Amino acid sequence: MSNDHRDNDDGMEESDPFLFGLFEHLFDDDYPLSEDVIKFRKDFTVKQLGDYLAEYKHYDLYAGEDAIHKWIMDKYSWLPHQIKELSWSELDFILRDNEINEAVQFGHDKYKSE
């Protein structure tokens, strides 16, 4: 495995504003990141997204990754063990939903105005 952890074709383009905006900072062409840094940044991004989603959907008992799992359970009627078995690329695909984009915009607008 090389030290360069960038995907050749990650499927994200600037036309995918949610994922492109949140993940564009994951990779720097001049400085390959370690697996630990990539994992930390992905985990942080998922937590931030989940927090926005929890507030947007009024999930008072959920935050971070739990809010994302709750949203997937509600939307697709999946069981928790099915959601926890998702790979990062599968989760990435599921999170390309318009409702997720709306939650992110809601979060950005709220925190930008405070």
d(CA 33, CA 6) in angstroms, rounded, equals: 9
Query: Which has more pLDDT, 21 or 50?
Result: 50
- CB of 96 closer than 8 Å to CB of 16: yes
Q: What pTM was estimated for this model as a whole?
A: 0.64
Instruction: Give the up-direction half-sphere exposure of residue 97: CA atoms within 13 A in the CB hemisphere.
Output: 14
- CB of 59 closer than 8 Å to CB of 103: no
Which residue type, as a one-letter code, is found at position 114?
A: E
pLDDT band per the 50, 70, 90 thresholds, residue 5: very low
Residue 12 gets the label, from left (phi > 0), alpha (psi -120 to 50) or beta, of: beta
Using a pLDDT cut of 70, give the percent of the chain over it: 66
Instruction: Tell me the average pLDDT across 50-75.
Output: 93
pLDDT band per the 50, 70, 90 thresholds, residue 7: very low
pLDDT band per the 50, 70, 90 thresholds, residue 42: confident
pLDDT band per the 50, 70, 90 thresholds, residue 76: very high
